[in-house]
Structure 1
């Protein structure tokens, strides 16, 4: 057993691409080794902005030798009419390095037994360049020199070491060897690796901490130590920590400060300047108030750190000066003037202005407010927020810091005397800002956010700008996913199909399919069975809250003993009901036995409170009441009788039964085998 090191040296990789790139390299190396039957014990990932490396522990000396049978032509075509071997058999034999007489007849097919010898690890690893590195894919590529080869960034060097031996291969004009490179500024020299096992230690000697997790832990420890020394509170934001970790090779955390006068600017603005624009960690005093300080991380040691601090402070102050200026100037503006100017701002060239978008949103929001059972005061707040909610797009602050859309709208709205509900809705209408982001907390904000998203989807679909494949330039998938989450959180129950039919448009069916696909993804991401999700999204009416709940309830009960028989009973009813090309008024005098009366009485009794019954109780009613009645029905009733009057009467009863069960979905799509 031996250890192997593969290191790809590069020009600096963008921070957001480092982690996915090393993960991909690890997956490709693992697949490569398994496909070549080269056993190993463990893969260890190393990464920095300048290198992607894989360390393979416990690598076998050679691939596993195997004996296998290769399937050939069938016996039917093996010989011609004279009993001679056919061309198919002869060609197969040649391809396998055998003769027809070497073949073995097993059942209806001929096979050839083959012994495949093991291959030395060194020979296999020499193909890493062509079979692993050159096949990597990225969201962003670079081309350099006169090469057609594309990679995330230009390759500067490659290390390929099996213990102390170089496993050479060429990739473009780079030959794999034993020479890595140290830190760009602290040790900008070639680093000779005499043995693969020396990698981490040798690189640390040259100011490169190659283990990303250890580097992240070191950054965290340094930041927390500085916070403790200064009696501050600090949050190690996950995404920011990941980004900082992927822009340094040798981290040194330091403290900077800024003038307290800038604390008069809203903290959200200061935090955006520090965290999003400069990759600084903001700090708070023990009372939770933002302090006029920050913690940042240098890619290097502590030498001349005072100059680094001054440089960072200078850059930050320039941004804070802009923020202070915009904050003071924006307060001189009037909301009504800004709203009026939105008529000249294009929402989309094919759709119209932002003013028109807001007017449509206001109409949708008014209808949602009724569904949400808002009070008269809340409805007035919805109307007011819908009239002004995009005004902050024309403020100087949002023009400079577009991440603060909505946030500044809330601030300026409060300063202008708008009530808290209206101001909060202006901020919350952007929520959620990511797939699993926070949702609106206020009823008014939830209504406005949902209405804004509904109009966006209706508007883009109506002009034919429908997402296809991975193409979604207007983030409509995210909008719909957010819409579903808002509707479910607020526990709104309404038929989305009927709701959108109230508005003009030609692609409403496509919209419903689009929404169903997003609901399906949300449920599948929770780990629910595909067939159960497939069944739930076909619920009628198309009540998003109900169908999401139904999928989870069905999933929860899938292992219970009555589940299989219940699904099969309901599925049988669904399939039979499809044979009714028309329905008739149900006549009780045509019932011939207690089973017919039993099913009819069961569904009639359940109908009374069915709409208000919780989803869990609906499902239990199907299991313990409807399903037994269906079983008895099929044991005693011939549905497809030749008597047309009886047949349609019975099909109409089954159709009424389906209407109840369909509220939870199409049970015929659930697999019970």
Structure 2
């Protein structure tokens, strides 16, 4: 017989940002708990509103399935003594299984005979097992918890009621003095308490009390109402997925309404008005033909009764918000960029890294280094220098102080107003791109260079003062910024070696005595950090871990070339024809580790194979580095592969470890020279080659 169960946790209002995670946890933890308790089921549905979390389980049996298990005990030589009698070990084993020694039989395991007992386990009643579901509820984890009253439990919000049903039977369950029953609560103002007679009635019973418990259905309902309003008013209500989910998690019974604000506010930049509407009031802005209109759309937690009064009340609140924004904007325009820059000298960026003005100075220096490496035009270089110099001026404006998400955006707008070039203004905004994984990167050269400089300084500076991310902890978003650096370089096709850039940034910190880490330690930490980010991106492209290790042996280098090498080697590892090349490279790298120097004296060559390898390497090396410089990765590996035959010939005909020390060291030096060239491409020994015998 198929049965249903329902658990509901009634709470004080949950923060909207925690609801999605809570739903996911409740679903996964319930599934794991049912499986651990050997309770089959056909479906798990999780529900949530600001005042409740619930789980509905379908297809439960009346009891656990009965099972038979084979218990393994001591070896036969231990279970039976020399007189053929049961030992204490055998008697204890059988007693522990609820059996007698007469139930023991022997079976071989890996050539040794062991005592075994078959156990029949009768399934427990499902209703009894469900009483322990309390442990699932208490296992839910939240970023912030609280205590209430004199209770010891820490939970996201105070628990006010519990529903726990198996079919129509109440499951005896209690948490912090709250006992489970059949009664739940409807909408705080429109509904009343309601008795859930059966789990299947949960959704409909609460909807009758103005509570839509299905989160996805609430979202779809809001979307339908927004679309209907758009058609009625001929508006474009730009759908913001994050905002849509947020308002979904703020209401139990959504009703969309609209309001207006004074058209005079439209002189304030759109971004400011939109941010004020979204962040402070959770309103959807309204457009027509991409122009912002003096209207807004909100979502009420309730029905359509007296909706006009609701709109008027919201209009009054928004008017105050927009008046503040208008004041900030007008006041900001009274202070020049140069005056703002002076204020940066008094604001601490990070205690050990100095002021914001010092941060800007480092950004400018690094940006110019990048500009020189890229050999950009003089006009672009001038734009980079100016953009870097004023890049943070908007951080001390009243607008950004009030709306931190507008950093860069207001910088761009104010820069235009104060007469900066378009390239400089855009770069001030683009320095913060990409803002998330997969986000847009700067489109302009000036913005890309400034973004690279800002991110590199932030990363190296944070690591210099000991803020290296660990585990899941990355409070400064350094991993995201490192991925942003690599993405910008790749998307713009910048011919730039990230390893060299990092070394320059590290040495800059050493020259300025910034931070507390020793320069060698800082360099090691920075490179390890960036290698890990590069490895992360390569693995996302299905490059095997050993290939990633091979191409990163000498650092991240030019990311685009590193990625191309990785994909090439990933393919080569499966080619039988590459086996001889791989073996030659491996023999060279292994033996080269014994070399103490790289100075080769041709006069010490005793055999033709030494001279042949030496001359072939000189020939190959010149062509190889030229091809690398021209980004011809496939050709460069083919050129390296020409060393395979003379390498094999060398090892087949020459005793490397000759008795004569000078001859021995000279041969090792020759191999080290070859190995050094191979390492420029990759550490071939790191790769687990896949050719078949």
Counterpart of 2:5 in structure 1 is 4
The Cα of 1:629 is off from its aligned counterpart by 4.1
Secondary structure, aligned partner of 1:253: strand
Counterpart of 2:641 in structure 1 is 625
Q: For the residues of structure 2 that align with 1:158 and 1:670, how far apart are their CA atoms?
A: 57
Further displaced range: 437-446 or 105-114 = 105-114
Structure 1 portions without partners, runs of 5+: none
The Cα of 1:530 is off from its aligned counterpart by 3.3
Counterpart of 1:154 in structure 2 is 158
Counterpart of 1:499 in structure 2 is 504
CA contact (8 A) 1:6 1:160 kept: yes
**Which of 577, 584, 590 is the matching residue for 1:575?**
590
CA contact (8 A) 2:531 2:555 kept: no
Counterpart of 1:178 in structure 2 is 182
Change (3 A) 1:381 1:142: same
Q: For the residues of structure 2 that align with 1:90 and 1:634, how far apart are their CA atoms?
A: 70
List aligned pairs for 1:227-242, cutoff 5 A.
Answer: 227-242=230-245
Secondary structure, aligned partner of 1:430: coil
The Cα of 1:578 is off from its aligned counterpart by 2.5
Secondary structure, aligned partner of 2:184: strand
The Cα of 1:298 is off from its aligned counterpart by 1.0
Q: Deviations over 1:295-354 (max 9, x none)?
A: 111111111111111121112111111111121221111111110121111111222111
Q: For the residues of structure 2 that align with 1:36 and 1:595, how far apart are their CA atoms?
A: 71
Q: Deviations over 1:272-311 (max 9, x none)?
A: 11122221111210x2111111211111111111111112
Instruction: Count residues in correspondence.
Output: 669
List aligned pairs for 1:443-482, cutoff 5 A.
Answer: 443-482=445-484
Change (3 A) 1:540 1:337: closer
Counterpart of 1:585 in structure 2 is 600
**Which of 280, 285, 289 is the matching residue for 1:282?**
285
What root-mean-square deviation, in Å, do the aligned CA atoms of Structure 1 and Structure 2 show? 3.1
**Does 1:512 pair with 2:527?**
yes
CA contact (8 A) 2:483 2:533 kept: yes
Counterpart of 1:223 in structure 2 is 226
The Cα of 1:541 is off from its aligned counterpart by 6.5
Q: For the residues of structure 1 that align with 2:114 and 2:646, how far apart are their CA atoms?
A: 52
Secondary structure, aligned partner of 1:142: coil
CA contact (8 A) 2:527 2:555 kept: no
Secondary structure, aligned partner of 1:338: helix
**Which of 251, 256, 260 is the matching residue for 1:257?**
260
Q: For the residues of structure 2 that align with 1:99 and 1:647, how far apart are their CA atoms?
A: 74
**Which of 123, 132, 143 is the matching residue for 1:127?**
132
The Cα of 1:566 is off from its aligned counterpart by 6.3
Counterpart of 1:268 in structure 2 is 271
Counterpart of 1:440 in structure 2 is 442
Counterpart of 1:296 in structure 2 is 298
Change (3 A) 1:666 1:15: farther
Change (3 A) 1:169 1:373: same
Change (3 A) 1:4 1:604: same
Counterpart of 2:374 in structure 1 is 372
The Cα of 1:521 is off from its aligned counterpart by 3.0
Q: Deviations over 1:46-102 (max 9, x none)?
A: 221222122222223332333333344456765778887666655554443345562
CA contact (8 A) 2:14 2:157 kept: yes
CA contact (8 A) 1:233 1:283 kept: yes
Q: Deviations over 1:614-637 (max 9, x none)?
A: 475268638x93596489558845
Counterpart of 2:321 in structure 1 is 319
Further displaced range: 1-10 or 388-397 = 1-10
Change (3 A) 1:79 1:658: farther
Q: For the residues of structure 1 that align with 2:369 and 2:654, how far apart are their CA atoms?
A: 47
Q: TM-score, normalised by structure 1?
A: 0.91
The Cα of 1:464 is off from its aligned counterpart by 3.0
Q: TM-score, normalised by structure 2?
A: 0.88
**Does 1:546 pair with 2:546?**
no
Structure 2 portions without partners, runs of 5+: 511-517
